[in-house]
Amino acid sequence: MSPRKRTEPAALPAPVSPERHAALHGPLLSWYDRNKRDLPWRRTRDPYAIWLSEVMLQQTQVATVIPYWERFLARFPSVKALASAPLDDVLSGWKGLGYYSRARNLHRAAREVVERFGGKLPATAEELLTLPGFGRYTSGAVASIAFGEQAPIVDGNVARVLSRLFEVEGVPGDREREATLWALASALVKGERPGDFNQALMEHGATVCRPESPLCLLCPVRDGCFAYRKGRVEELPPAKVRAAPRKLFLALAVWPHEGTLLFARRADKGLFGGLWELPAVEVEEDTPEAEATARLATALGTALTLEATLDSVRRQLTHRDLTLRLLRVRGGSRPTRASAFQELRWCTPQEAEALGMSTAMQRALDAALGHGVLESGAPPAKKAAGRSARKTAGR
C-alpha cells in the first residue's frame, strides 16, 4: 500500500449556513440540468473513462480533449488494457496533448489499480488519493462524478466562482485562500447529486462566471453573490502573477545512418521525461556549435563530427521558451546505449512514428527530414568544416 497522502487542510469552522447552502446548491444544479454542454464523458458512467477525461482536461481545453479522449479510449478501452500496454504506446497515444507526466502517471496508476484493486478503480476520494497522479482535485472529481461521493473539488473555475460568491480574498496559490476554498467546496457539495453539483460549479465558471466579462445577468445565483452585490466582480479573484517562461536551449544530434536516425529516450524525470527525441543536451544561447557537439558526444559516449547546422526550431511551452538547434553529426562507432539516456534506437522515420515523442521533438524531426538528411547525396545545410568533438567527461 502506498503511503497515504494528506487529504485535508487544517479543520475550519463550517463556512456555509443551511440557508446559504439551499440558496446555492439547488439553483446551481437546476441551472446545470438546463445548460450543461453535451460532452462525451458526461454520457458514460465508466469510472475509467471519467478519470481519463479529468486527467486530460487538466491544462487542456475541452475542444482539444474530445478527439484525444475518444482515440485514447478506443486504443486503451479499460484500466486493464492501459495497465498491460507498454509505456511507449501510452506516450504515443498522448502525443500532442503535452504535459506527458499526466500520461506516465495514468499508466502507473492503472498498473496499481490492477495490482491493488483487481482492475477496478476504488470508489472513495481517500483511496484514490493513494494512486499516482491523483491529487485532491482528481480524487474528488472521480469519486463524486463516477461514484457519487460527496467529495469536494476546487479547480480554477471553481476557485473563481467561490471567490466571487463568498468574497474570498487572497491571490491564487495563497495557502489560507486555498484552505478556505476547499472548506467552502466541502460544505457546498453536501446534498443530492454531488457529482453533478461539482460539474455545475465548474460549468458555471467556464461559461458564466468567466474570468473576463462574466455574464452576471444570466447567473442563477446572482442574488447570493457577495462580489456582485458589492461591485467587486472584476477584482475577484486577483490575477496570479506569472513568471516569464524560462529560456531553454537544446542541441539535438541528427545522426543519419542507412535510412535511419538515432533516437534516445530521456530519463523519466524533468521536461519531456520518458519521451523519445533526437538525442538532446542543454546548451546556452551562445554555446558554439563545436562545444554543443562535444556535449552531445559526451552524452552519447562516442566521438562525433559536426557536419552541418541544419535549423533551429522554436516552441513556446507554458513555462519554457524552447529553442532546439539541429546539428547534423556523424560518429565512428554507432552507440546502442548511453548512460545519459534510458535507451537508444536507430529508427526509420516510419518506425519513429510509434515512439512517444513530444510535439516539439516531432517538429524538430520534421525539420531535419525537411533538410533531406536521409536522402543520399543531400547537401548539408550549412557546412561546418568537419570539426571533430571527442567525448569529454563531466562537461
DSSP β-ladder status, 260-265 and 276-277: antiparallel
The closest alpha carbon to 156, from 65, 64, 243, 57, belongs to: 57
Q: Measured from the CB atom, is 94 or 197 closer to ligand SF4?
A: 197
227 binds ligand SF4 (CB under 6 A): yes
Strand order in the sheet with 280-283: 280-283, 246-254, 320-331, 304-316, 383-389
188 binds ligand SF4 (CB under 6 A): no
Q: Measured from the CB atom, is 168 or 209 closer to ligand SF4?
A: 209
Tell me how far, at minimum, the Cβ of 348 lies from ligand SF4, in Å. 54
Q: Name, in order, each residue with C-beta under 8 angstroms of 323's C-beta and a sequence gap of 6 or more.
A: 247, 248, 249, 250, 285, 312, 313, 314
Q: Measured from the CB atom, is 157 or 309 closer to ligand SF4?
A: 157
Q: Which of 164, 177, 266, 295 binds ligand SF4 (CB under 6 A)?
A: 164
| Given 8, 54, 115, 178, the catalytic residue | 54
Tell me how far, at minimum, the Cβ of 132 lies from ligand SF4, in Å. 35
Q: Measured from the CB atom, is 161 or 373 closer to ligand SF4?
A: 161
Q: Cα dihedral sign for 217, 221, 222, 225?
A: negative
222 binds ligand SF4 (CB under 6 A): yes
Q: Is 108 exposed, middle or buried (0-12, 13-18, 19+ CB in 10 A)?
A: middle
Residue 12: all three cell numbers together = 475550519
184 binds ligand SF4 (CB under 6 A): no
186, containing H or E segment:
helix 175-188
Q: Name, in order, each residue with C-beta under 8 angstroms of 229's C-beta and a sequence gap of 6 or more.
A: none
Residue at 293: amino acid letter: T
The number of C-alpha atoms within 13 Å of 253 and in the hemisphere containing its C-beta is 37
165 binds ligand SF4 (CB under 6 A): yes
Q: Measured from the CB atom, is 9 or 170 closer to ligand SF4?
A: 170
Distance (Å, rounded) from C-alpha 196 to C-alpha 202?
A: 10
Tell me how far, at minimum, the Cβ of 195 lies from ligand SF4, in Å. 21
Residues 45-104 that bind ligand SF4 (CB under 6 A): none
161 binds ligand SF4 (CB under 6 A): yes
202 binds ligand SF4 (CB under 6 A): no
In this chain, which stretch among 44-52, 143-151, 160-168, 270-278 interacts with ligand SF4, using CB under 6 A?
160-168
Told to judge if 54 belongs to the known catalytic residues of this protein, a careful annotator would answer yes
In this chain, which stretch among 64-72, 84-92, 219-227, 242-250 interacts with ligand SF4, using CB under 6 A?
219-227
Q: Cα dihedral sign for 64, 69, 182, 166?
A: positive
Residues labelled catalytic: 54
Provide the binding-site residues for ligand SF4, judged by CB under 6 A.
161, 164-165, 208-209, 214, 216, 219, 221-222, 225, 227-228, 233
